[in-house]
Amino acid sequence: MRSCWNLKLSNIVLLFGCFPATTQPTAHGSGYTLQVRHRAKPSHFGLFASIPCPSLSIQVSSALITLFILFLSIQSFAQFKLSDELKHSKSTEVTGTYQFPVNPGQPNFLAGTMGELRNTHFHAGIDVRTNNMVGMPILATQSGYVSRIIVGTGGYGHAMMITHPDGNTSLYGHLDQFKGPIAKHILEEHYSRKSFDLDLSFTPTQYPITKGDTIGLSGNTGGSSGPHLHFEIRNSNNEALNPLAFGFTEIEDKIAPLAFRIALKTMDVNARVNDKFGRFEFGLVRSGNTARLAAPIFAHGKIGIEILAHDKLDRSQFRTGISKIEVYVDSVLTFQQQIDKIDFNTSRDIVTLMDYKSLKTKGVHFNKLYIEDGNPLQFYPSKNPGFVQVNEGTKKIKIVLRDFAGNESTANFSLKYDPHTNEVPFLENLLKPLEYEVAENTLVIHSKPCGAKEKPILLFEKGKKVEVNTSYRSINHLVYLIDLKKSLPDSIVNCQGSIVLNYKDVVPSKTDYTHYSNHIDIQFPNGALYDTLYLSLYEAQKNNRTIYSIGNLLTPIHGSVTITLKETGIDGNKKIAAYHLEANRYEYVGGAWSNDRITFNTTELGDFVLLTDSVAPTITRISCTTLSARFRIRDNLSGIEKYEANINGEWLLMKYDYKTGILQSERLDKQKFLKGDFELKVTDRAGNERVYRQRIL
């Protein structure tokens, strides 16, 4: 923090140093008494708060005073120069003393840490518990100025960002209220813009902040699932830093990360785990800070390792993130992952770090300990991709898990080379005579045997027939592996029946690409795919509705793709829209109609259906008095798009919590009661509208 010298000489005040000093003429007139006070309390960017402080009087000559001023001026220039350099330095991140934003100096507890794996992003800060309460004072971690205010129904909810002299910015999310002079300004902006959602920016001189100021009250706004403070510190590149790196002693952590399961994945068509192709999970047995598998796992070829693990903190039941992971193969470091800063531009790429199928089907976060093509993340100090090649002998694997506090645990197991074999003692019973799945670039076909004599399976591709022999088998289960980079079959036939695969195209991952067909067009912008996509398309009828199956739900997408459904036979209007179908739930996607065509953007592939929403939202009054109006609003299908309230024709702010559906009014003038004609209008995404009216007396 830059500070100033305050030297008063002959009624001239010079601000150029480190602590306040004043001069008074001596009794005999031959010099001055220099009064030096202790360091003043730094306020906003070099300004000083006026505080009482003890003084020390020293008799000095005028010449000494002159020399003293010269010395301090030189020092001041050096300090200002250094401060300016720090402000523009990209590497200067952890500087100065930061104060914990909740109950500083007292034990605090976390519900989440920086780098924690979430379903769609990396957690960018720490979640500070507030005793499950709303309304705890939130303090500025460091002096600076309010640079941004965000108010919205999702995400951070009510959030404040404070920029500090060292170039860092702190963020305080899910606030219930803003405090200080800015609170009145924010309320006025709501009314000026006639909007609940706000995104406001400010200059350094508008709303300065002093370290320790109460900037708001804790809450549960936005995407919060319970009352807490989401707290971030970002550097000048807008990268999230680990707040625990700023020396907060309020958080105690003596518990090492916990490992629960490992997964082994065959990375090409020739690799095997226990004689089989695919991905296989194994439960770990823990003893203290060590977890292990009792017996070696048989494998050969190129193998990828994944781990299911999380960290814990003292006196907290919440699962938190792991800062650093290392993998050693026969005592040689082969893989490193270290999350010490997060780039928001790549946070959605978390899907490349986790096993996406496990995430979507089981809701668990397996961390890949290898780097696949298409992974853009910068958490890997070494570019070694981390695959384990098992070609002979036994590979001893040690996984080291370390949290930010330095607590460490390990997971240990062995991979034992096992020569290739076509005979497998046991394979799972099949539910159907003929099944298939796609694993990366491999088509895996499962079939029940066709009698005592084994016969090849037939693949058809563009009218050509190819015979394929089994890759491995058991008594009741045959497995065929087809490299899709070499062949993209249309259908499969054997004695158990046939399957139409519906593969229509091979979509590359690193270019703009559009698939055209008679019924469906799909635009893939450059970067939308992490890997080559083997695009399947088909239509099916279910409950008198057409289901458009476009690709696979288990394929992760970066950004969005544009889909056009053609020749739908529907005269489109706003009430008819595209919905994504997952687990018997419909999620609104939307779309724009042109005659009988509808075009929409989606961040997920899978099944889509066109549905009509002709039912207006519901409005339920909770209370509506001269002091406040409170309602619950709901919609049965497309979801709430907008709402607006007015009193005697004048716009009234209604704060919306989408989690509960609650609308709560806030008056601009607290002295002005809600009297007269009240109206609340709620519209869903399909354009259906519901209006509530009441005369408030």
DSSP string of 121-156? SB--SEEEE-TT-S--EEE-SSSEEEEEEEE-SSTT
Q: Is 90 exceeded by the pLDDT of residue 429?
A: no
Given this model, what pLDDT does residue 63 score?
46
This prediction's pTM: 0.84
The proportion of the chain whose per-residue pLDDT surpasses 70, expressed as a percent, equals 86
User: Closest by alpha carbon to 676, among 632, 643, 646?
Assistant: 646
pLDDT tens track for 437-461: 999 899 999 999 987 677 889 999 9
In this structure, the answer to whether residues 528 and 463 fall within a common structural domain is no
In this structure, the answer to whether residues 72 and 131 fall within a common structural domain is no
Q: Is residue 486 part of a domain?
A: no
Mean pLDDT of 603-619: 98
Q: What is the CATH number of the domain that holds 301?
A: 2.60.40.10
| Bridge partner list, 60 | 32
Question: What residue numbers bound the domain in which 69 lies?
Answer: 6-88
Q: What mean pLDDT value characterizes the chain?
A: 88
Q: Is residue 93 part of a domain?
A: no
Q: Is 90 exceeded by the pLDDT of residue 81?
A: no
Alpha-carbon gap, residue 532 to 515, rounded angstroms: 14
Q: Is 90 exceeded by the pLDDT of residue 4?
A: no
Given this model, what pLDDT does residue 427 score?
86
Q: What tokens does 535 get? A: 């695009």
Q: Per the structure, how many domains does the chain have? A: 6
3-state secondary structure labels for all residues of 640-675: EEEEEEEECCEEEEEEEECCCCEEEEECCCCCCCCC
Q: Is 60 exceeded by the pLDDT of residue 74?
A: no
In this structure, the answer to whether residues 222 and 329 fall within a common structural domain is no
Q: Which one of 553, 584, 612 terminates a domain?
A: 612
Helix (H, G, I), strand (E, B) or coil at 601: strand
Q: Which helix (H) or strand (E) holds 627?
A: none
In this structure, the answer to whether residues 582 and 452 fall within a common structural domain is no
In this structure, the answer to whether residues 692 and 583 fall within a common structural domain is no
Alpha-carbon gap, residue 281 to 369, rounded angstroms: 14
Give the DSSP letter of residue 622.
E
Q: Is residue 388 part of a domain?
A: yes
In this structure, the answer to whether residues 283 and 404 fall within a common structural domain is yes
Q: Is residue 512 part of a domain?
A: yes
The proportion of the chain whose per-residue pLDDT surpasses 90, expressed as a percent, equals 78
In this structure, the answer to whether residues 134 and 231 fall within a common structural domain is yes
Q: Is residue 96 part of a domain?
A: no
Q: Is residue 526 part of a domain?
A: yes
In this structure, the answer to whether residues 314 and 218 fall within a common structural domain is no
Which pLDDT band holds residue 420 (cuts at 50, 70, 90)? confident
Q: Is residue 42 part of a domain?
A: yes
Lowest mean pLDDT segment, chosen from 78-87, 450-459, 484-493: 78-87
Q: Is 50 exceeded by the pLDDT of residue 330?
A: yes
**659 against 92, higher pLDDT:** 659
In this structure, the answer to whether residues 274 and 396 fall within a common structural domain is yes
Given this model, what pLDDT does residue 86 score?
33
Please list, in sequence order, all residues whose beta carbon lies within 8 angstroms of the beta carbon of residue 41, skipping any fewer than 6 positions away. Answer: 48, 49, 51
Given this model, what pLDDT does residue 370 score?
98
Q: Is 60 exceeded by the pLDDT of residue 154?
A: yes
Q: Which helix (H) or strand (E) holds 12?
A: strand 12-15
In this structure, the answer to whether residues 286 and 176 fall within a common structural domain is no
Q: Which one of 577, 612, 647 terminates a domain?
A: 612
In this structure, the answer to whether residues 262 and 354 fall within a common structural domain is yes
Q: What is the CATH number of the domain that holds 661?
A: 2.60.40.760
Q: Is residue 225 part of a domain?
A: yes
Distance of CA 433 to the CA centre of its chain: 42
In this structure, the answer to whether residues 276 and 133 fall within a common structural domain is no
Q: Which one of 373, 391, 417 terminates a domain?
A: 417
